[in-house]
Structure formats: C-alpha cells, structure tokens
C-alpha cells in the first residue's frame, strides 16, 4: 500500500524489508511484528541514584526490561532542570546493570552522542530534534537501536523521511515513537495521534511505540492513552514513572507514581492480550 502523501522516492525501508519486521533490542528481546509489547518506563529525568533505583526495582519485579531516563534534557526554559549529564548516565547504567535492564536515554546533540552511546543500549532522539539531520546521520552510523520521536509539529511524512535519514546511513534498527502532537486543543498537553500509530504500522517496516505521558501531560490520562496506543497497534510504550511525582524536577504532572506501575502493567496487559500479545 502506498501512502497518499508519499513522495516519489523509493524508500530504503521498502527495498530492504519484508514487513513486518521486529527489531532486536538485546539477545532474546525483540520489539515489533507481534512480539510482546515492550513497556519502557522510568523517570523523565534522572535526578538521583535513589530515585532511579526505586523505579527500576519495581520494573524488574514486574518483568519489564527497558529503563528510561533523561540525563541531557531538552527543556523549553533555560531555567528548568537541564539534567545531570554524564552523572545521570552513570546512574542509569549502574541501576540498569543491577537489575538486568536495558537503558534508553536521549542524545541531545551530535557532540554528546559518543558519550551517550557509551552508556545507553537504545538512543532516544527527542521530539524537538526529529529533523536535526546531522544527529540523524550520526545515529545512522551507530550499531544501536534508535528511538525516533515524532516532532510535535511534524507530519507523518516528515517523520518517516526523518527515519529514512537514519536508515540510509545503514542503521535500520529504528523505533518510531508517537508522543502527541500540538493541536488547537489545550486541555491536554498534546494530542495522542492514534491514527498515526495505525498508519505508520501499515506504511513503515519499523516498530511503533506510543508515549502516553507526553501525549497527555496528565498522570490520570496516561493509562487510557496507553491502552489506546496499544489498541491502535503500538509495539511498545514509553512511560514516565517517578517515586514522588510531586517532587519531580521535570514532568511531574504526567509521571505515574511508582506504586501505580503494577496496576498499570496489568491493565495494559489486558489490552495486549485481547490482541494476542504479551507484554514485557
């Protein structure tokens, strides 16, 4: 099927993939193509060892495999917490290794990439950087999976072409992540585009994740948005979780308290099961 908005170029992804195809995250852990839904969870920003460990401990108990956390944060205001930098990466790695988890964290710029790649198993490209082409080229040269967030003002076509920039450098371990787009609606932080999840599942060979935290901006809407993403076909979720959301240095209002995680996983697992999928 050819997307109506699509340009005449032949996409690398169309030539090289028999779809749908799963992406290998680690030995024995795959995402996409009917594999279990991968629930990546953790704080928006790494703030301390204790804070990160408190989330990871619960995740490991629940059988989750991928710990998220920002060390270099793209903040709208320069006065907001910018992340712990390398110290944050060290914390993430130490905590993940203790519990046998993988690390996903954002690379904010080309200059940070070698450092981030030293610590991370999966590189996150943030929404604000979706069209940062030198960064896309640089992650395209890496031998690590890359999660490419959709720009909050970007069309699906622009998003898939950004993924092409990565693929053409040779890295086809791409994960697409719909994290909500800006619309006329201001009642929620963004609008989760479940159409895009379903569409991209049909049009692109890569796994798709939903980010119900940034899509809604409200902790009480994260579960219904997560269910909607999985129901639309998402292969994974990226969810913000904090031991004390009211004290979080970033995105506290949308962070699930860690004690809510077991029930959250249970409810999302119900939707996944209805689609014949597991969750991990």
Per CB under 6 A, residues contacting ligand PEP are 44, 70, 74, 126-128, 149, 179, 214
* Contact (Cβ atoms closer than 8 angstroms) between residue 271 and residue 36: no
**Closer to ligand PEP by Cβ: residue 44 or 166:** 44
Q: What is the DSSP letter of 151?
A: P
| Residue 181 near which of Mn ion, ligand PEP, none (CB within 5-8 Å, type-dependent) | none
| Residue 149 near which of Mn ion, ligand PEP, none (CB within 5-8 Å, type-dependent) | ligand PEP
**Closer to Mn ion by Cβ: residue 68 or 93:** 68
Cβ at position 147, least distance to ligand PEP in Å: 9
Angle at 194 between CA 223 and CA 121, to 5 degrees: 70
**Closer to ligand PEP by Cβ: residue 70 or 140:** 70
Q: Which helix (H) or strand (E) holds 266?
A: helix 261-274
Cβ at position 16, least distance to Mn ion in Å: 33
Phi, psi at 215, each rounded to 5°: -65, -35
| Maximal CA-CA distance, the chain | 51
Cβ at position 94, least distance to ligand PEP in Å: 20
Which one of residues 31, 37, 41, 44 is an interface residue with Mn ion (CB under 5 A)? 44
Per-residue contact track with Mn ion, 214 to 253, x per CB under 5 A? -------------------------------------x--
| CB neighbour list of residue 254: distance below 8 Å, 6 or more residues apart | 44, 189, 213, 214, 216, 217, 218, 219, 222, 240
**Closer to ligand PEP by Cβ: residue 12 or 214:** 214
| CB neighbour list of residue 36: distance below 8 Å, 6 or more residues apart | 272, 277, 278, 279, 280
Residue 114 to residues 102, 139, 141, 142: CA-CA distances in angstroms? Answer: 18, 10, 11, 10
Cβ at position 2, least distance to ligand PEP in Å: 29
| Residue 182 near which of ligand PEP, Mn ion, none (CB within 5-8 Å, type-dependent) | none
Q: Which residues contact Mn ion by CB under 5 A?
A: 44, 251
């Amino acid at each position: 099927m050819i997307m109506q908005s699509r340009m005449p170029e032949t996409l690398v992804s169309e030539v090289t993939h028999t779809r749908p195809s799963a992406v290998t995250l680690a030995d024995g852990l795959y995402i996409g193509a009917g594999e279990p839904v991968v629930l990546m969870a953790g704080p928006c920003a790494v703030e301390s060892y204790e804070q990160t460990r408190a989330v990871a401990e619960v995740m490991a108990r629940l059988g989750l495999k991928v710990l998220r956390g920002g060390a270099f944060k793209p903040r709208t205001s320069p006065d907001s917490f910018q992340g712990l930098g390398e110290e944050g990466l060290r914390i993430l790695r130490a905590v993940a290794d203790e519990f046998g988890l993988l690390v996903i964290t954002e690379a904010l710029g080309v200059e940070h990439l070698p450092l981030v790649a030293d610590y991370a198993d999966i590189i996150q490209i943030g929404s604000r950087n979706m069209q940062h082409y030198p960064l896309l080229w640089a992650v395209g040269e890496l031998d690590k999976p890359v999660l490419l967030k959709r720009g909050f003002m970007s069309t699906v076509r622009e998003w898939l072409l950004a993924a092409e920039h990565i693929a053409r450098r040779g890295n086809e371990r791409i994960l697409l992540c719909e994290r909500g787009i800006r619309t006329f609606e201001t009642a929620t932080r963004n609008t989760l585009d479940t159409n895009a999840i379903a569409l991209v599942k049909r049009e692109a060979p890569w796994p798709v994740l939903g980010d119900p935290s940034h899509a809604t901006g409200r902790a009480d809407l994260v579960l219904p948005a997560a269910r909607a993403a999985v129901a639309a076909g998402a292969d994974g979720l990226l969810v913000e979780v904090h031991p004390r959301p009211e004290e979080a240095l970033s995105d506290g209002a949308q962070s699930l308290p860690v004690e809510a995680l077991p029930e959250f996983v249970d409810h999302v697992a119900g939707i996944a099961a209805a689609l014949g999928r597991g969750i991990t």
